[in-house]
């Protein structure tokens, strides 16, 4: 684990931790001395204030996965690494903190972080933030505390791939194999003429299968075949003017032939429905389908600039900004506030599309529409980072209010 330098001198440490030493002179009352000690102890404890964790968010900045925690005052947490059930984790502890209404779970960035989970201690004292990471992906991390507006403070923790460790793992020299001993040929067994030798069973192909001859690839008919749980949604899209604008295949045939689709409608130029189908490639594992209603087709000047900045590499960022925190605060954050306002207006204008999308993907939860609309209508606060909400569990549905507003639905199954 990296060692972190707090930047505090020994003199400063002594001034923080030192306590006046009392000498009891002969004849002084022991009761009076104890009373004085009690008062000094009360004064020392009264100086300890509790930090408040107000907001948190996860974003992708260049090659960095960036966790941002908004605090009411500067504080440095305890960061530890561990592994639970084969899942590597990075744990950020604010032991004496109190937490505001924090989300219990945030989605990952599909790079290094699988998800972010927040926990509170007993009695509301102490906040723990757990980053579940993808296994077999070496990483390095850095952390920094930056001042914010209104007396607030930003705690930043960034992770990026450790390319040196990954390269060293892939260049491990394989020892030479021992010379094989050639056994003597075994006698051939006698086979009666009437005995038939069965053919070995064919290997199961758990990957993507080509659609039947009567189903056109890249069509709504193929979507119905791949994701039967979304048949009602697909039928609505097909009869409401939506068209499959693009479809692609990925990976190797016979192993994991995944598919994706982009569905658009000329009546809603800022909206797009994106579908990803990930078939199982081993037995007893389910297919995974992801359907997202997104506003990232927005073509405003701010949206175009933000999309370009998201593709910057770390080298490009360092040429213009002193560190990654400056890039986040000065370049990305102001644009995200503008995008939240612009896409909020799009969602409220095309509210029927969002309501129908939720009604057809979550038919068993009639309250999900009200929950989502409540979050969408909330006033955008430029002082705080956006939030990603979990608005339903069966199926799993995320509402993203970080930059481009979107709804993302996960369908699981069937299992092979």
Confidence of residue 30 (pLDDT cuts 50, 70, 90): very low
| CB contact at 8 A, 22 and 35 | no
- Across residues 225-243, what is the average pLDDT? 92
Looking at the structure, tell me whether residues 138 and 237 fall in a common domain.
Answer: no
In a domain, 56, yes or no: yes
Looking at the structure, tell me whether residues 347 and 228 fall in a common domain.
Answer: yes
CA distances from 385 to 70, 111, 329, 344, 377 (A): 8, 21, 11, 15, 16
In a domain, 2, yes or no: no
pTM for this prediction: 0.52
Looking at the structure, tell me whether residues 161 and 219 fall in a common domain.
Answer: no
**pLDDT at 279 > cutoff 60:** yes
Distance CA 117, CA 377 (A): 25
Cis amide leading into 43 (omega within 30): no
- Around Cβ 392, how many Cβ atoms within 10 Å? 22
Distance CA 67, CA 51 (A): 18
In a domain, 4, yes or no: no
Q: Give the pLDDT score at 22.
A: 36
- Across residues 301-319, what is the average pLDDT? 89
Structure tokens at 29: 């009352």
| Residue 160: domain span | 52-165
3-state secondary structure of 24: coil
Q: Give the pLDDT score at 99.
A: 84
Residue 119 is part of a domain; what is its CATH number? 2.60.40.3500
For β-strands 52-61 and 64-71, DSSP reports them as antiparallel
Q: What are phi and psi of 381, to 5 degrees?
A: -100, 115
Distance CA 112, CA 65 (A): 7
Pairwise pLDDT comparison (175 vs 317), residue with the higher score? 317
Confidence of residue 369 (pLDDT cuts 50, 70, 90): very high
Looking at the structure, tell me whether residues 99 and 242 fall in a common domain.
Answer: no
Q: Give the pLDDT score at 285.
A: 76
Looking at the structure, tell me whether residues 160 and 219 fall in a common domain.
Answer: no
| CB contact at 8 A, 43 and 63 | no
Pairwise pLDDT comparison (160 vs 18), residue with the higher score? 160
Looking at the structure, tell me whether residues 328 and 242 fall in a common domain.
Answer: yes
Q: What count of residues does the chain have?
A: 416
Distance CA 153, CA 150 (A): 9
Q: Which of 131, 127, 9, 144 is nearest to 58 (CA)?
A: 131
Q: Which of 335, 350, 244 is nearest to 295 (CA)?
A: 350
Looking at the structure, tell me whether residues 157 and 210 fall in a common domain.
Answer: no
- Across residues 292-303, what is the average pLDDT? 92
CA distances from 354 to 351, 375, 406 (A): 5, 13, 9
Q: Give the pLDDT score at 168.
A: 54
Distance CA 346, CA 338 (A): 13
Q: Which long-range contacts (C-beta less than 8 Å, at least 24 apart) are formed by 266-269?
A: 266/241, 267/241, 268/350, 268/353, 269/297, 269/299
Name residue 258's beta-bridge partners.
250
Q: Give the pLDDT score at 213.
A: 53
In a domain, 23, yes or no: no
Structural domain ending residue among the three candidates 117, 148, 165: 165
pLDDT tens-digit map of 178-222: 555 555 555 544 444 444 444 444 434 444 455 555 678 888 999
Q: Give the pLDDT score at 9.
A: 39
3-state secondary structure of 232: helix
Q: Give the pLDDT score at 218.
A: 84
For β-strands 139-147 and 153-161, DSSP reports them as antiparallel
Looking at the structure, tell me whether residues 244 and 380 fall in a common domain.
Answer: yes
3-state secondary structure of 113: strand
CA distances from 230 to 225, 259, 288, 319 (A): 10, 16, 12, 47
In a domain, 19, yes or no: no
Structure tokens at 131: 């980053």
In a domain, 113, yes or no: yes
The separation between the first and the last C-alpha atoms of the chain, rounded to the nearest angstrom, is 40
**pLDDT at 4 > cutoff 60:** no
CA distances from 332 to 88, 320, 326, 371 (A): 29, 13, 9, 28
What contacts 307, CB < 8 A, 6 or more positions away?
A: 296
Structural domain ending residue among the three candidates 133, 165, 197: 165
Structural domain ending residue among the three candidates 146, 165, 184: 165
Percentage of the chain exceeding pLDDT 70: 73
Split into its structural domains, the chain has a count of 2
CA distances from 292 to 82, 152, 161, 217, 295 (A): 33, 34, 27, 20, 10
Looking at the structure, tell me whether residues 69 and 141 fall in a common domain.
Answer: yes
Confidence of residue 31 (pLDDT cuts 50, 70, 90): very low
Structure tokens at 218: 């890249």
In a domain, 41, yes or no: no
Specify the DSSP class assigned to residue 177: P
Over the chain, what is the mean pLDDT? 77
Looking at the structure, tell me whether residues 223 and 306 fall in a common domain.
Answer: yes
Specify the DSSP class assigned to residue 27: T
In a domain, 45, yes or no: no
For β-strands 52-61 and 87-99, DSSP reports them as parallel
For β-strands 406-415 and 64-71, DSSP reports them as unpaired
Looking at the structure, tell me whether residues 242 and 338 fall in a common domain.
Answer: yes
Looking at the structure, tell me whether residues 211 and 311 fall in a common domain.
Answer: yes
Name residue 67's beta-bridge partners.
58, 157
Structure tokens at 279: 């078939």
């Amino acid at each position: 684990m990296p060692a972190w330098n707090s930047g505090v001198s020994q003199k400063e440490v002594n001034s923080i931790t030192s306590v006046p030493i009392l000498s009891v002179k002969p004849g002084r009352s022991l009761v009076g001395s104890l009373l004085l000690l009690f008062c000094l102890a009360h004064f020392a404890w009264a100086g300890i204030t509790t930090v408040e964790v107000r907001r948190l968010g996860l974003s992708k900045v260049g090659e960095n996965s960036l966790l941002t925690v908004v605090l009411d005052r500067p504080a440095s947490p305890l960061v530890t690494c561990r592994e639970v059930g084969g899942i590597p984790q990075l744990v950020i502890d604010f032991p004496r903190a109190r937490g505001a209404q924090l989300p219990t779970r945030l989605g990952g960035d599909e790079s290094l972080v699988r998800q972010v989970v927040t926990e509170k201690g007993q009695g509301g004292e102490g906040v723990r933030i757990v980053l579940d990471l993808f296994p077999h992906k070496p990483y390095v991390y850095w952390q920094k505390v930056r001042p914010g507006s209104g007396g607030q403070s930003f705690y930043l923790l960034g992770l990026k791939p450790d390319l040196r460790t990954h390269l060293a793992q892939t260049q491990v020299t394989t020892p030479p194999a021992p010379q094989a001993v050639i056994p003597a040929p075994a006698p051939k067994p006698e086979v009666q003429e009437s005995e038939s030798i069965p053919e070995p069973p064919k290997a199961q192909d758990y990957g993507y299968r080509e659609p039947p001859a009567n189903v056109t690839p890249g069509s709504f008919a193929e979507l119905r075949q791949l994701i039967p749980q979304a048949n009602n949604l697909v039928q609505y899209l097909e009869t409401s003017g939506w068209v499959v604008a693009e479809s692609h295949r990925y990976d190797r045939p016979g192993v994991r032939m995944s598919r994706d689709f982009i569905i658009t409608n000329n009546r809603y130029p800022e909206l797009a429905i994106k579908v990803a189908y990930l078939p199982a490639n081993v037995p007893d594992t389910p297919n995974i389908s992801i359907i997202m209603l997104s506003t990232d087709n927005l073509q405003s000047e701010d949206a175009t600039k933000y999309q370009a900045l998201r593709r910057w590499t770390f080298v490009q960022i360092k040429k213009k900004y002193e560190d990654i925190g400056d890039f986040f605060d000065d370049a990305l954050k102001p644009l995200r506030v503008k995008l939240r306002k612009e896409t909020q207006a799009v969602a409220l204008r095309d509210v029927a599309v969002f309501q129908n999308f939720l009604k057809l993907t979550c038919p068993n939860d009639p309250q999900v529409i009200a929950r989502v609309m409540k979050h969408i209508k909330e006033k955008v606060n430029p002082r705080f980072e956006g939030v990603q909400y979990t608005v339903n569990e069966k199926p799993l549905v995320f509402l993203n209010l970080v930059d481009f507003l979107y709804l993302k639905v996960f369908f699981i199954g069937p299992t092979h």
